[in-house]
Amino acid sequence: MSEAYKRKYTFGEDYGTSDYKFGPITLGERPEVIENRGYFPDTSSIMYRLMGTAKEVVVGRDLALYLGSREELASRMVYPMRNGIVGKDDEKAWKVIYEITKYGLEMFRRSEAEFKGFYVCAALSAIAPRYMYEKIFDIHVRIAEETGLVKAVTIIPQPLAVAIAHKVPTCVVIESGHGNTQVCPISRYPIKTAMVVLNRGGSDADMLTSQILYDAGYGDLAKEEALVRKVKEELGLIPRNLDEAVRRAKSDPESFRARYRVPGTRIEIDLGKESWARFLIGEYVFNPKHEIFESYFKRGMPKPKDVKVGDVLFRGMLDLGEAVLEAVEKCPVELQPYLYGKILLSGGNFHWKAPQQYRELAVDSATKLKLLLSEKGIEGVSVDVAPEPKFSVWRGCIIYGYAVPEDYSWSWDRMEGWLRIHD
Amino acid sequence: MTRAIAEAVRRYFQLKGYVEEPPPPQGPSLSFKGPSGRVAVYLIDEEALKARGEALRRLLRASSTDGYDLAYVAVSKPIATVVDASILHEVGVGMLIVDGQVLEATPAKRRMTLNLRGLEELRRQLSALEEKVRRLETGHETLAKPVDEELAFRVNRLEGEVAELRANLEDGLRRLLSSLTSILDKIASLESMLSEMRREHKPMVEATPLREEAPPSELPSFFKDNPWLRILSTRGRE
């Protein structure tokens, strides 16, 4: 009974830094996606009263209908997972996570008589502390009591889900999100003691892009977060060798000219003689230690710092090659060649264009990491960028939820198994 | 504006295989018949906002729609910002936002029209019988003459019949409700199976046991040849 049941009622939940990906196994290849955020409307506003809403927090696709002014967004919009970790007492963030989780499950409410709730497999950042696991369990128990939509729940780290989705039992998964980057060796289980976490992610490259736009005379646009991210994706390049790329781009600016027309507007961004700076954006993700970035730090751009959150040390300036070496070298020597044998890059921060006309100077993420490792004497490494990285974690959750036996109870020692809510 | 909204709604339902039918007097703005039964659509347009109470009247009508399987309100995008979709959802009314195209912001819940109609009819019959008894009792008192034994006998008999009818009606109503719930559940289950079969374009087959080498074809592609299936299926048994 259990397998036939799971074939229909396994449910995956990926709490990403920007998006929440969710849905049952029956969705097939792709989950539903909503932004991982909640809006707390001004309850004293006339609009709130007119709309007659009783909700303290609004999530999901209707959210845009409730938005107030731009100024209010900063204080009323909450992105609970922005940095992978949610504060234990951050009530607003937990309220958003509860609402988002319930929203997702309600969307797939089933009416069949046999339906007794979903087997839910949720994925959290690999650095999530134990209290986050406890809170996520509590949220599901509460939703199960209110709606009957959850039969059992389990939680796995996101890098493990990525390895599962890509069918690799032994590998290093590098998951780079908005706020941080996790380098996690996996050999059937995540090797948590070997994990290295970097205190930088997509948002740091956004900051650099913003500074580049400012320098190029687009100070007004440099404040628009979504636009800056788009410019980064459209114009940013990863240099094979930064010094060489900058030298060539400065000597022949027209060939490397970076221009971007914002769709649906009259705005065209043209970096002009500053176009060489497009190579800085990609380099910064992999190696912020290059001396060229010092001038940006001196002008006020925040330098990624080493910080300790709970038991986890987030490294600021380690380059990505060093981070991989440090993680792999914490594992048994016998295992190390297998780990170098498969490195998976996952997350939006690894998706960069490498246009054909610049192939001499610009490379993709996998090549860049191979070059960094080669500089440190590690050759013959296999690096892959996960295709459709946005959905990898959800897919891993679905497989995990489907395959792990239902009678395997949750163990806090092993951090796996099912927390059964009802039979 | 009204016409544009109505036209967009018409296109929307026609594309879903619905045929428009004339709405009844005092009924919805638009009426359709199609794969999910009869659909009522109430337009809340700027005209409705101009006439005092008209918008509220249409919303109330939508929430108490009878004789239709699904009920929607259709609003323009500016009006959508002041209509709380969650309240419509609570009363089972769907919301369509029309902005050139039609977006189903809130799906409508299936209305139990049979149930409501049946309930109304039973209530009507019961009231009629109660009224008869009341008239008989009043007539009996106002006669102000010695109670006629035959009349008393008839009143007693009628009271007995009314009590019996009431019990029968209540019992019948309970069974009707139970049958309806069961039928609706079965329909929902069949609809779900049908849509899955349509999506997969294949007949339903019995589930096969989990095997890493050859996962069943209806599982997503990322299951195929995935070594984790074997690894994970032994968790807790190692």
pLDDT exceeds 70 at position A54: no
ipTM for the complex shown: 0.87
What is the distance, to the nearest Å, from the Cα of residue A304 to the centroid of all Cα atoms in its chain?
A: 18
pLDDT bin (cut points 50, 70, 90) of residue B202 is very low
CB-based contact B228 A62, cutoff 8 Å? no
Question: pLDDT tens-digit profile of B1-24?
Answer: 678 889 999 999 998 888 998 888
pLDDT on residue A348: 80
pLDDT exceeds 60 at position A249: yes
Residue A64 contacts B, CB cutoff 8 Å: no
pLDDT exceeds 60 at position A1: no
Residue B227 structure tokens? 């070594």
The enclosing H or E element of B123 equals: helix B113-142
pLDDT bin (cut points 50, 70, 90) of residue B140 is low
Return the higher-pLDDT residue of B101 and A146: A146
- The C-alpha atoms of residue A102 and residue A397 are separated, in whole angstroms, by 18
Which positions in chain B touch A26 (Cβ < 8 Å)?
Answer: 196
pLDDT on residue B204: 38
Are A157 and A133 contacting, i.e. CB atoms less than 8 angstroms apart?
no
pLDDT exceeds 80 at position B133: no
What is the distance, to the nearest Å, from the Cα of residue A370 to the centroid of all Cα atoms in its chain?
A: 22
Question: pLDDT tens-digit profile of A360-383?
Answer: 999 999 999 999 999 999 998 999
pLDDT bin (cut points 50, 70, 90) of residue A264 is confident
pLDDT bin (cut points 50, 70, 90) of residue A45 is low
- Which of A119-128, A215-224, B178-187 shows the highest mean pLDDT? A119-128
Q: With a CB-CB cutoff of 8 Å, which residues 174-213 of chain A face chain B?
A: 188
pLDDT exceeds 50 at position A39: yes
In the predicted model, what is the mean pLDDT of residues A396-420? 94
Instruction: Name the CA dihedral angle for A61, A62, A66, A68, rounded to a multiple of 10 degrees.
Output: 20
Q: With a CB-CB cutoff of 8 Å, which residues 71-110 of chain A face chain B?
A: 110
- The C-alpha atoms of residue B164 and residue B36 are separated, in whole angstroms, by 39
pLDDT on residue A52: 56
Task: Tell me which chain A residue has its CA closest to the CA of residue B207.
Answer: A4
Question: pLDDT tens-digit profile of A160-177?
Answer: 999 999 999 999 999 988
- Which of A83-97, A344-358, A393-407, B181-195 shows the highest mean pLDDT? A393-407
pLDDT exceeds 70 at position B203: no
- The C-alpha atoms of residue A306 and residue A315 are separated, in whole angstroms, by 5
pLDDT exceeds 80 at position A109: yes
pLDDT exceeds 90 at position B62: no
Residue A199 structure tokens? 């205190």
pLDDT on residue B46: 78
Q: What percent of chain A has pLDDT over 70?
A: 95
pLDDT on residue B159: 87
pLDDT bin (cut points 50, 70, 90) of residue B190 is confident
pLDDT on residue A196: 94
Residue A171 structure tokens? 């590998």
Residue A78 structure tokens? 């909450």
Q: Which residue has the tokens 């039964």?
A: B37
CB-based contact A395 B85, cutoff 8 Å? no
CB-based contact A51 B232, cutoff 8 Å? no
Closest by alpha carbon to A357, among A273, A255, A261, A282? Answer: A255
3-state SS record for chain A: CHHHHHHHHEEEEEECCCEEEEEEHHHCCCCEEEECCEECCCCCCHHHHHHCCCCCCECCCCHHHHCCCHHHHHHHEECCCCCCCCCCCCHHHHHHHHHHHHHHHHHCCCCCCCCCCEEEEEEECCCCCHHHHHHHHHHHHHHHHHHCCEEEEEEEEHHHHHHHHCCCCEEEEEEECCCCEEEEEEECEECHHHCEEECCCHHHHHHHHHHHHHHCCCCCHHHCHHHHHHHHHHHCCEECCHHHHHHHHHHCHHHHCCEEECCCCCCEEECHHHHHHHHHHHHHHHCCCCHHHHHHHHCCCCCCCCEEECCEEEECCCCHHHHHHHHHHCCCHHHHHHHHCCEEEECHHHCCCCCHHHCCCEECHHHHHHHHHHHCCCCCCCEEECCCHHHHHHHHHHHHHHHCCCCCECECCCCECEEECCC
On the 0-12 / 13-18 / 19+ scale of CB atoms within 10 A, A155 is: buried
The enclosing H or E element of A162 equals: helix A158-165
pLDDT on residue B127: 80
pLDDT exceeds 90 at position A285: yes
The number of C-alpha atoms within 13 Å of A323 and in the hemisphere containing its C-beta is: 31
pLDDT bin (cut points 50, 70, 90) of residue B147 is low
pLDDT exceeds 50 at position B210: no
pLDDT on residue B211: 32
- Which of A45-49, A109-113, A284-288 shows the highest mean pLDDT? A284-288
- The C-alpha atoms of residue A169 and residue A171 are separated, in whole angstroms, by 7
Neighbours of A35 (CB within 10 A): 17
CB-based contact A65 B80, cutoff 8 Å? yes
- The C-alpha atoms of residue A209 and residue A223 are separated, in whole angstroms, by 11
Chain B interface residues facing chain A, Cβ-Cβ under 8 Å? 80-87, 105, 185, 188-189, 192, 196, 207, 209-210, 216, 218-223, 225-229, 231-233, 235-237
pLDDT exceeds 70 at position B118: no
Residue A385 structure tokens? 């960028």
pLDDT exceeds 60 at position A276: yes
Neighbours of B25 (CB within 10 A): 5
Quote the radius of gyration of chain A (alpha carbons, Å).
23
- Write the CB contacts of B88 (distance below 8 Å, at least 6 apart in sequence): B59, B62, B63, B73, B94, B95, B106
At how many degrees (to 10) do helices A225-235 and A202-215 cross? 90
Of A85-94, A117-126, A186-195, B148-157, the range with the lowest mean pLDDT is: B148-157
pLDDT bin (cut points 50, 70, 90) of residue B84 is confident
Helix (H, G, I), strand (E, B) or coil at B40: strand
Closest by alpha carbon to A284, among A363, A205, A224, A171? Answer: A205
pLDDT bin (cut points 50, 70, 90) of residue B213 is very low
Mean predicted lDDT score pLDDT of chain A: 90
Query: Out of B192, B196, B229, whose CB is closest to A403?
Result: B229
pLDDT exceeds 50 at position A90: yes
Quote the radius of gyration of chain B (alpha carbons, Å).
28
In the predicted model, what is the mean pLDDT of residues A246-266? 91
pLDDT on residue A393: 92
Return the higher-pLDDT residue of A410 and A224: A410
pLDDT on residue A73: 66
Q: What percent of chain A has pLDDT over 90?
A: 64
pLDDT on residue A171: 96
pLDDT on residue B192: 67
Residue B43 structure tokens? 């337009």
Which positions in chain A touch B99 (Cβ < 8 Å)?
Answer: none
Question: pLDDT tens-digit profile of B23-47?
Answer: 888 889 899 998 888 899 998 887 7
Q: What single-letter DSSP state applies at residue A224?
A: -
pLDDT bin (cut points 50, 70, 90) of residue B68 is confident
How far the first Cα of chain B sits from its last, in Å, is 68
Tell me the shortest Cα–Cα distance from B233 to chain A, in angstroms: 5
Q: What percent of chain B has pLDDT over 70?
A: 77
Residue A419 contacts B, CB cutoff 8 Å: no
In the predicted model, what is the mean pLDDT of residues A303-316? 84
pLDDT on residue A72: 66
- Output phi, psi for A13, to 5 deg: -135, 120
Residue A408 contacts B, CB cutoff 8 Å: yes
pLDDT on residue B142: 56
Which positions in chain B touch A169 (Cβ < 8 Å)?
Answer: 227-228, 231
pLDDT on residue A69: 60
pLDDT on residue B195: 66
Full-model pTM: 0.64
Are A231 and A262 contacting, i.e. CB atoms less than 8 angstroms apart?
no
- Which of B34-43, B130-139, B173-182 shows the highest mean pLDDT? B34-43
CB-based contact B210 A4, cutoff 8 Å? no
Domains, chain A: 2-37+79-158+391-420 (3.30.420.40), 202-306+320-385 (3.30.420.570)
Closest by alpha carbon to A405, among B220, B210, B213, B206? Answer: B210
What is the distance, to the nearest Å, from the Cα of residue A258 to the centroid of all Cα atoms in its chain?
A: 27
